[in-house]
Amino acid sequence: MTAPNEGGFFMEKMAKKTEYKNQEVTSYDSGKATSKNLTSEFKHAFDYYAPIRNSWEEKEALIMCRLEDSVSKNSAKSQVFDPRLLTIISERMFRVMAQLPSGKVQTLTKKNMGKSMLMDLILSKYIIPNATSQHDILSKNRMVNFYSHVYGSMPVLVDWVIRDDYVGPDYYMIPPRDFIPQPNKYSINDCDYVFVSNRVSRGWLKTRAGWNGLDRLLDQTKGKGSLAKNTERQSYNESTWGSDFSEDSDNSKSVELITKYTPDRWTTFALDYPDIPALRDIENPHKNGKLPFGVKHSFPLLDRFWGLGEVEKGQSLQLAINSLINLYLDGVKYSIFPPLKVDLTGVVQSTIKIEPGAKWVMKRMDAVDTMNVSPQGMNTFQSTYQFMIAALLNQAGTTDTTTSDVTDPGLGKTPAAVNFLAGRQNARDAYDRFQQETFIEQVYDRFIDLVSTKQEKPIKLDLFEDEIGQIAKTHGDLVEILDEENATLLVEPKDIRDTKYKYKIDAGSTYKKDEQLEKAELEAKMAMLMQMPNAVEQIAQAGGVFLGNYFVDFGEMFKRSMISSGIQDWDKIVRPAEEKQAELQEVQMQQQQVQAEQDPMADPEIQAIMQEVANGQPPITPYGQ
């Protein structure tokens, strides 16, 4: 998809304002690669990934809880879906990506510590709240995690976007069918190029100033309906419910564009019009010599670009469970309404109706009899179902504790068994969390690199009081751009230029917290601190304990313990010290005022004058005499 500014992947509907910079467009008349050559290269890469792509539709049907396997569709009349696999990957997503990560932007040299704090504030207060193409960034991180388990890997494109309300970096999730990597490459880091497909409207194309062959493309597409998307690149949802691309007017008719991304150049051409020259060929606007993509894997594979996802691993078991349930339900129907053996010579055929209160006209009483069906399959349903559930949970490294240890010796309901299973689930979650954190670090590094090199206008950041205090105390070089009165920081592009940055995520910061476990850990650490020599005196004087080069804030630990304990209105129990000190000062002033009214000699000013007289110094009068 083509960006509204730098030529990336973001669709035109993401941009509320069409501000586009004219960029140098290299003509292909000079003997460089032609649109036909690019089309041929694209089709070769597209065909290379056909086998893995053809397996996706059934996986997509599974996450939409649709029965598309042959047994459920053709052998059973019942159409019930047990969404166990969907639940497994959904719950893992909620655990692993429960919240936005915490972390720090670091510079490669200590002399740029002020710049690292500036970039940290820009990332947390400017980029993350505004990087909302498609969805907010937390929802996108969760969707990336979810779909990586469906397709094995989930690609995104990081680019610079221009909107009415935001100019800066963002990332866009690319439908896997529209992402075609270089053949015979098994990692995005090894790819020399990647093709990305996008459908855009004719109206959007008319805003592309300076594009090659644009008039010819608009002429050839005028008055024509949109060419249907190749069925091999339609997802299950698209093929089932259709595309929502509007074609109410000629300008809204769609054209498919393909962009070839290399570390040095981005080239865009119209796939269905190979006789038209490449529409655009520009230098990589990021100017970093890298492909603008990030990829989150479920389980990376050595010899396949697309990883191994949870759906691929559990697909056969999920299909078997669905088939088993539907065959069993059909069997239940047969047991309630068994098939009948009817001798047509012994009945009046027109009177045979299967309904309550039906009256059959019989010539012989033995002409109708029920068919005896063996109940053996019905009797083994429960054990077979439990076995399949256990196998599915085993492959996912999780459990619901409903499977007995008789079905699977590794499962059970005892505390020891539950703790063992929780440990196994945590280990699997930890691996997925590592993949998610690696992906986030890649994306945030691209964000930081783009804003440090491409930002042209000042960024205004709103700060909290504690952040202002921290900047004033620890980063004196930033005070000159700090507006303490309005609680803002105005960052000029020059303030963050010419520095190499690296984002370091706090491991485990995206993971769902166990509040009871956190409370227990905090209380254990607080008890350990209290046992240290002079700890009570240090806490009374400084509010915490000095440990080497670190200071442990005891008050903050106590506050977090209160929060995790779930105590109602904890903030009325644990209050900021400044707030209480202000109350005490106000009470003291009121007491002094009351005392002064009762005893004028108790007024502090009068006492000061009397003290000066006692010391032999004349009092200073308002007239200086």
The whole-number average pLDDT for the span 209-238 is 77
Tell me the pLDDT band of 9, cut-offs 50, 70 and 90.
Answer: very low
81, 65 contact by CB (below 8 A): yes
- Residue 601 DSSP one-character state: G
Which among 117-121, 150-154, 465-469, 566-570 has the top mean pLDDT?
A: 150-154
Q: So what's the pLDDT on residue 624?
A: 45
Residue 58 has pLDDT above 60, yes or no: yes
Separation CA 447–CA 386 (nearest Å)? 48
Cβ neighbours of residue 273 under 8 Å, at least 6 residues apart? 35, 217, 220, 221
Q: Taking phi first (over 0 means left), then psi (-120 to 50 degrees means alpha), and beta for anything else, what does residue 193 get? A: beta
Residue 43 has pLDDT above 90, yes or no: yes
Residue 23 has pLDDT above 50, yes or no: no
Residue 280 has pLDDT above 60, yes or no: yes
Residue 532 has pLDDT above 90, yes or no: no
Tell me the pLDDT band of 209, cut-offs 50, 70 and 90.
Answer: confident
Q: So what's the pLDDT on residue 421?
A: 62
Which has the higher per-residue pLDDT, 254 or 82? 82
Residue 532: both structure tokens together: 């240290």
- Tokens 């230029």 belong to 497
The whole-number average pLDDT for the span 30-40 is 69
Which has the higher per-residue pLDDT, 465 or 145? 145
206, 254 contact by CB (below 8 A): no
Write out the H or E segment, with its range, that includes residue 181.
strand 179-181
Least confident piece of the model among 53-57, 236-240, 254-258, 582-586: 582-586
Which has the higher per-residue pLDDT, 42 or 486? 42
Residue 401 burial class via C-beta count within 10 angstroms: exposed 0-12, middle 13-18, buried 19 and up: middle
Residue 64: both structure tokens together: 């939409």
Least confident piece of the model among 216-230, 359-373, 446-460: 216-230
Q: So what's the pLDDT on residue 18?
A: 36
Which among 146-150, 249-253, 491-495 has the top mean pLDDT?
A: 146-150
- CA quadruple 40, 41, 42, 43: dihedral sign: positive
- Tokens 């969907």 belong to 86
Separation CA 311–CA 88 (nearest Å)? 10
Residue 25: both structure tokens together: 């467009």
* DSSP class per residue in 468-537: HHHHHHH-GGGGGGEETTTTEEEE-GGGT-S--EEEEE-TTTTSPP-HHHHHHHHHHHHHHHHTSTTHHH
272, 226 contact by CB (below 8 A): no
Which has the higher per-residue pLDDT, 139 or 249? 139
Residue 219 has pLDDT above 60, yes or no: yes
Residue 131: both structure tokens together: 């990087």
Which has the higher per-residue pLDDT, 229 or 115? 115
Least confident piece of the model among 10-14, 410-414, 481-485: 10-14
Least confident piece of the model among 222-226, 333-337, 458-462: 222-226
- 150-205 pLDDT, tens digit per residue, is 999 999 999 999 888 899 999 999 999 999 999 999 999 999 999 999 988 888 88
Tell me the pLDDT band of 145, cut-offs 50, 70 and 90.
Answer: very high
* DSSP class per residue in 112-157: GHHHHHHHHHHIIIIIHHH--SSS-HHHHHHHHHHHHHHHSEEEEE
Q: Contacts by 386-389 with C-beta closer than 8 Å and gap 24+? A: 388/317, 388/320, 388/321, 388/324, 389/84, 389/321
Residue 535, CA distances (Å) to 101, 313, 405, 542, 576 in order: 33, 54, 50, 10, 21
Residue 11 has pLDDT above 60, yes or no: no
- Residue 238 DSSP one-character state: H
Separation CA 399–CA 88 (nearest Å)? 9
Tell me the pLDDT band of 592, cut-offs 50, 70 and 90.
Answer: confident
Tell me the pLDDT band of 604, cut-offs 50, 70 and 90.
Answer: low
Write out the H or E segment, with its range, that includes residue 546.
strand 544-547
The whole-number average pLDDT for the span 123-134 is 93
Residue 407: both structure tokens together: 């079905």
Residue 487 has pLDDT above 80, yes or no: no
The whole-number average pLDDT for the span 564-580 is 69
Q: So what's the pLDDT on residue 52?
A: 93
- 318-369 pLDDT, tens digit per residue, is 998 988 888 888 888 888 888 888 998 898 988 888 888 889 999 888 888 8
Residue 147: both structure tokens together: 């779909």
Q: So what's the pLDDT on residue 623?
A: 46
- Tokens 């993971």 belong to 511
Residue 104 has pLDDT above 80, yes or no: yes
* DSSP class per residue in 336-398: HS--EEE-GGGB-GGG---STT----BSSGGGEEEPP---HHHHTHHHHHHHHHHHHHHHHT-
Residue 449 has pLDDT above 60, yes or no: yes
Across the chain, what does the average pLDDT equal?
Answer: 80
Cβ neighbours of residue 28 under 8 Å, at least 6 residues apart? 34, 35, 212, 277, 278, 281
Which has the higher per-residue pLDDT, 344 or 468? 344
Least confident piece of the model among 132-141, 152-161, 209-218, 590-599: 590-599
Least confident piece of the model among 3-7, 84-88, 161-165, 431-435: 3-7
- Measured between alpha carbons, how far apart are the two ends of the chain, in Å? 84
Residue 20 has pLDDT above 50, yes or no: no
Task: Give the other-Cβ count within 10 Å of 92's Cβ.
Answer: 23
Task: Give the other-Cβ count within 10 Å of 431's Cβ.
Answer: 14
Q: So what's the pLDDT on residue 228?
A: 56
- CA quadruple 160, 164, 166, 167: dihedral sign: positive
Residue 408: both structure tokens together: 């699977």
Q: So what's the pLDDT on residue 17?
A: 38
Which has the higher per-residue pLDDT, 122 or 513? 122
B/e letters for 373-385, b = 16+ CB within 10 Å, e = fewer, are: eeeeeeeebeeeb
Separation CA 624–CA 149 (nearest Å)? 84
